[in-house]
Amino acid sequence: MPSIIETHGLRKVYSNRKGEDVVAIESLDLTVGQPGTIHGFLGPNGSGKTTSIRCLLGLIRPTSGSATLFGADSTTAFHEVAHRVGAIVENPKLFPNFTAQRNLTLLADLAGVPKTEVARVMEVVGLTGRENDTFEAYSLGMKQRLAIAAALLKKPELLVLDEPANGLDPAGIAEMRVLIRSIAAEGTSVLVSSHQLAEIEQMCDEVTIIDRGKLVTTGLVDEVRRHAGPDSVVVSIADTNAAIQALATSGIGARPRPTPGELTVDVDATETAAVTKALADQGLYLTGLRSERATLENAFLNLTGNTAPPPPGSPAPTGDTPGPGLDGPPTAPPMARPPGANAPPAPAPNHEESA
Amino acid sequence: MIRLIRAETKRLASRRIAQLFPLLLSVAIVGVVVIASFVISADDDSDVDFVRDLAGGVEGTGLLGPVAGLITLMAFVIGASFVGADLKSGMLEHLLTWEPRRMRLLGARALALFIVVFFAAMLVSVVTIGALFGLATAVGTTDGTTGELWVNALKAIVRAGVAAGIFSAIGLGITMVLNNSVASIVGFVIYWFIVEPILFGAFLPKIAAYLPNTNAGAFSSGNPVERAEGNVFDGTADFVEVHSWQTAGVILAAWSLVAMLGGGLVFSRRDIA
């Protein structure tokens, strides 16, 4: 049985306005094989996620390599499997002056889907009762959900969502996460791209990380997270310099964090007693202590050799801050391209209508 | 394919430009005729003759000649904007995830355009003929008309619809090639009002007889395509028939085929992003 998604050596080169070649994807190998899984497709803005998705959906032709969906070549035979694939590329695109009901009815008609399906998918995405509002009157979150409803009309086996959390507020992101989880629970495989690693980390079973068009790593979330290194402990204390020296005396490594009065201590969460003892022995008393779980973002930064600039005055994301559960608020900023990464992101191809 | 055509037709018919353009054009035509009714005097023989000629004479020949250009312009704009708006909004990309066979989508879109624009053009034609007949009645020039007038009027209305449908396909094809509806429409307007009538019409009349503008006018009005021989600027030129309005229709269809083939070729190979 063929994989749901498979790419081999996928490469896409564009010409920019100056006629120079810009490599958007370089030899990308990607496999999504298990039905009902959520596969995160991660990378900074401009890393080639949307280009890869467009290749998968037959919207753009790869320069070389292959992309298949359910065994069908995306470039030449996507039409054979299009009824098995629901997709939203970049923004939700429906007719602004049509009502939600009319938009979906039109697409149902196009796909030969019974009109009764419209009510079902509206219920799945929680928009029942808002059928008669026009698309342009919807909030961004509602537009995203309606676009997902449209994609679900075909009862797809694979749902491809390109940055579905883009522009959503924390509540909207949480709703989206729950919705995607519930869709996957019904047996639909989901490929979801994002540059917000913390969001993906909370909902995906597998992830693929790409950077500047190249595959960085792929695997189960826990496997990939191992690349982030061990968990650590964050200590709040008045005199951080004295604390670093005191811990060093006990053979414990520590370094200051961007937030004044905080240290990252290189011990596992189970060894916090040693930290408190080492500090207390030197007459230093901590005012706070929490464990910090290794994140996908740390893994990404480690794997790419980059260092992320933390937002001024804000702590790095931690694993035990309140609420990173399914409904919790986001805990990490979007993946940033660090200052050291001097390669510019691949520019969007100049094929869109400019007028 | 039928489902695709139906869906595309519904979408196009719901577009504001497809509804407003024919309506505004109709209102403008009625407005001009109403103004004319105040200016033209039923007692002035030259005015009466002018109106009679404008309305196609007692037999209604050449009935839609004066508005044929406007109707085809409308058709082109509707055709160009239909694809241009979808390119700009990304809707085309979305539609291709539903129907990835691009030539099929393009064909369905061209047929949907033909259907919608055909009826829009017929609406404008009916309003035009009604307004002109009203004007003729007002200045007392309906004497001598027979049933033949209405038969010819009906033929003219259908021909105008067909010509408009053909031009919408030209608009679609050219916009597909240019990938920009504004460039396509501006280019068409310049061509329509300057390049073909002035450059070709005055200086290369042999070629002009085979160009879209000339043949659209001839086909819509039911008049043959004529070419000036001699000096058109001092009024001494003679006009000789080059081909019939039927041939003009075939030439128009050939132009739309060329535009659609060009559009299809580009669309089938272009990255949609």
Whether the pLDDT of residue B25 is over 80: the answer is yes
Alpha-carbon distance values, A199 to A144, A281, A302, B28, B119 (Å): 16, 41, 19, 56, 51
Mean pLDDT of B49-59: 60
Q: Which residues of A touch B98 (CB under 8 A)?
A: 82, 107, 110-111
What average pLDDT does range B92-98 have in this prediction? 86
Cβ distance A54 to B273 less than 8 Å, yes or no, reads yes
Look up residue A264 and give its amino acid: T
Does residue B160 surpass a pLDDT of 60? Answer: yes
Q: Which residues contact A52 (CB under 8 A, 6 or more apart)?
A: A7, A10, A12, A25, A28, A30, A41, A67, A210
- By DSSP bridging, strand A206-211 and strand B238-243 are unpaired
How far from chain centre, in Å, is Cα A144?
Answer: 15
Listed in sequence order, the DSSP H helices in A69-139 are 74-81, 100-111, 116-124
Give the pLDDT mean for A108-137: 85
Using the 8-state DSSP alphabet, how is residue A28 labeled? E
Nearest to B113 by CA among B5, B200, B249, B26: B5
A222 CB neighbour count, 10 Å cutoff? 8
Indicate the residue type of A137: A
pLDDT at B111: 93
Q: Which of A16, A102, A110 would you mutate first to test chain B, the one with the most B CBs within 10 A? A: A110
Distance CA B86, CA B100 (A): 15
Count A/B contacts: CB-CB distance under 8 Å.
94
Mean pLDDT of chain B: 82
Q: Contacts from A247-250 at CB under 8 Å and sequence distance 24+?
A: A247/A275, A247/A278, A247/A279, A249/A278, A249/A282, A250/A274, A250/A277, A250/A278, A250/A281
On chain B, the residues whose CB falls within 8 A of the CB of A57 are 96-97, 100
Per-residue pLDDT tens for B76-90?
999 998 888 888 777
Mark out the alpha helices in B15-101 (DSSP H runs).
16-39, 45-54, 65-89, 91-98
Task: Provide the pLDDT for residue A310.
Answer: 41
Query: Looking at the partner chain, which of B3, B179, B271 has a beta carbon nearest the beta carbon of A112?
Result: B3
Higher-confidence residue of B91 and A307: namely B91
Residue pair B193/B215 in contact (Cβ under 8 Å)? The answer is no
Distance (Å) from the alpha carbon of B102 to chain A's nearest alpha carbon: 10
For residue A340, what pLDDT is reported?
40
Residue A211's contacts (CB-CB under 8 Å, 6 or more residues apart) are A43, A44, A47, A300, A304
The CA-atom distances, in angstroms, between B48 and each of A260, B53, B134, B137 are 94, 9, 13, 10
Query: Between chains, do B273 and A352 touch, taking CB under 8 Å as contact?
Result: yes
For residue A221, how many other CB atoms are within 10 A of its CB?
Answer: 18
CB distance A32 to A191 below 8 Å: yes
The whole-angstrom separation of Cα A338 and Cα A110 is: 45
Check pLDDT > 50 for residue B175.
yes
A residues 61..80 contacting B (CB < 8 A)? 61, 78-79
Q: What pLDDT is recorded for position B247?
A: 92
Question: What per-residue confidence (pLDDT) applies to A323?
Answer: 31
Candidates B44, B56, B241; CA nearest to B130 is B56
Q: Is pLDDT of A94 > 80?
A: yes
Show the tokens assigned to A106. Answer: 């039109």
pLDDT recorded at residue B265: 92
pLDDT tier for residue A320 given thresholds of 50, 70 and 90 = very low
Which residues in chain A touch residue B93, judged by CB atoms under 8 angstroms apart?
54, 59, 89, 93
Closest in B97, B179, B271 to A353, CB measured? B179
Report the pLDDT averaged over residues B15-35: 85
What residues pair up with A319 in beta bridges, in sequence order?
none
Shortest CB distance from A58 goes to which of B7, B100, B269? B100
* Per-residue model confidence (pLDDT) at position B60: 54
Do the Cβ atoms of A349 and B4 come within 8 Å?
A: no
Q: For the ranges B74-88, B136-150, B191-205, which has the lowest average pLDDT?
A: B136-150
Q: Which residue in the block uniquely carries the two structure tokens 């937002």?
A: A311
Does residue A89 register a pLDDT over 80? yes
pTM over 0.80: no
**What is the spatial distance between Cα A138 and Cα A125, in angstroms, rounded to a whole number?**
14
Closest Cα in chain A to B176: A353
- Bridge partners (DSSP) of residue A263 are A235, A256
Average pLDDT, chain A: 78
User: Quick one: pLDDT at residue B57?
Assistant: 57
ipTM over the 0.85 cut-off: no
Q: Each residue of B242-269: pLDDT tens digit? A: 888 899 999 999 999 999 999 999 988 8
CA angle B229, B230, B235 (to 5 degrees): 110
Question: What pLDDT sits at residue B113?
Answer: 92
Sheet order of strands, A288-292 included: A254-256, A262-265, A232-236, A288-292
Minimal Cβ distance to B100: which of A82, A90, A349: A82
CA angle A32, A35, A40 (to 5 degrees): 45
- Residue A198 predicted with pLDDT over 80: no
Nearest residue of B to residue A85 by CA position?
A: B97
Tell me, rounded to whole angstroms, the distance of Cα A74 from its chain centroid: 23
Alpha carbon A117 to its chain centroid, in Å, reads: 29
A311 pLDDT more than 50: no
Judged by CB atoms closer than 8 Å, whether chains meet at A54 and B272 is answered as: yes
Contact B90, B129 (CB under 8 A): no
**What are the tens digits of pLDDT across the range A22-76?**
888 888 888 887 778 889 888 888 888 889 999 999 999 889 888 888 888 888 8
pLDDT of residue A251: 86
- Measured CA to CA, the distance from residue B95 to residue A322 in angstroms comes to 42
Kindly report, residue by residue over A249-262, the tens digit of the pLDDT.
888 888 888 788 88
Q: Count CA within 13 A, CB hemisphere, residue A150.
A: 30
Which pLDDT value is given to residue A271? 78
